[in-house]
Structure formats: structure tokens, C-alpha cells
Amino acid sequence: MAADPDCLFCKIVAGDIPATRVYEDERTIAFMDINPGTRGHLLVVPREHAVDLLSVAPEDLAACTRTAQIMAARVSDKLGADGVNLLNSCGAAAWQTVFHFHVHVIPRYVNDPLQLPWQPAPGDRDEIAAAAARLSE
């Protein structure tokens, strides 16, 4: 199993740093975030080290997505969450601070304090079309 000796989440996977684990399987583990955005906020990581979304093995990405789905059901059933956000930050510009791929499972509650990080407003149609043209090449 590939691990990075300097990686915080590899140390958690190995059990060298304590974490409050809530789920484990062959490819993934889930543990509580120490700075929760809401009650029950947890992280899903692959056991194998990968820096981010762009480099994680597709099998580990699929396994993490499935674990996130399982935990989304649990926060709904057991904590009474009214909804769930899954969040992945890929790259420092996208707020990534720990460079071992992870998916945040963030339980949402009616009237919790979290807010969308952007103001929805109609975009420039030409700019949208130009981006779409590049993306579909």
C-alpha cells in the first residue's frame, strides 16, 4: 500500500495519529473532521495515498464515493440530517489544505449556518459558451 511518510492522512490510515474512525473497508476509511462545519462532519479517504482528485486511482475514487454514500445515509438516519453536501477540494486554489485525497461528508440541517460560497447570478452567455466549447473538444 503506497503511503507518504509526511502525509497526515496516511498517518491516520496507519493508526500512527489518532482519529475517530466511523467506517472502514478494504479501500477506504472514514473519520470525524476535527473542525466540523456541522454536527457529524466527517472525511472519507482512500487507504492508498493520492494527492488529489486528479491523481487518485479510479477504483479508489469509486470506493470513496460509495463510502460517502453510505455515510450520507448514516448521518441522515442516525443524526437526523435533513440533507448532505459532499465536498472535494482539489488544489490549494480550491481550498485543499491536506494533500491526501478526501471527500467531506457534511450533514446539513434546516437553518444551519452554512452558506453557498458564491452568489448565484446569471453568467455571461458568450463566456459560458466559450468555456463549454473548450470543454467538449
Please give the positions annotated as active site.
Answer: 102
Residues 70/84, Cβ–Cβ less than 8 Å = no
Instruction: Give which of Zn ion, ligand AMP, none residue 89 binds (C-beta under 5 to 8 Å, depending on kind).
Output: ligand AMP
What does the per-residue mask of binding to Zn ion show for 94-113, with x meaning CB under 5 A?
------x-------------
Instruction: Give which of ligand AMP, Zn ion, none residue 34 binds (C-beta under 5 to 8 Å, depending on kind).
Output: ligand AMP
Residue 7 makes contact with Zn ion by CB under 5 A: yes
Tell me 24's DSSP state: E
Taking the complex as a whole, the smallest distance from the CB of residue 62 to ligand AMP amounts, in Å, to 20
What's the start-to-end Cα distance of the chain, in Å? 36
Q: Cβ neighbours of residue 105 under 8 Å, at least 6 residues apart?
A: 30, 41, 42, 43, 44, 68, 71, 72, 75, 84, 86
Picking from 51, 70, 57, the residue whose alpha carbon sits closest to that of residue 27 is 57
C-alpha cell at 6: 509526511
Nearer of residues 74 and 100 to Zn ion, judged by Cβ: 100
Taking the complex as a whole, the smallest distance from the CB of residue 98 to ligand AMP amounts, in Å, to 4
Q: Cβ neighbours of residue 33 under 8 Å, at least 6 residues apart?
A: 41, 42, 43, 104
Instruction: Give which of ligand AMP, Zn ion, none residue 10 binds (C-beta under 5 to 8 Å, depending on kind).
Output: Zn ion
Nearer of residues 53 and 109 to Zn ion, judged by Cβ: 53
Residue 51 makes contact with Zn ion by CB under 5 A: no
Taking the complex as a whole, the smallest distance from the CB of residue 47 to ligand AMP amounts, in Å, to 16
Q: Residue for cell digits 493520492? A: 50
Residues that bind Zn ion (CB under 5 A): 4, 7, 9-10, 49, 100
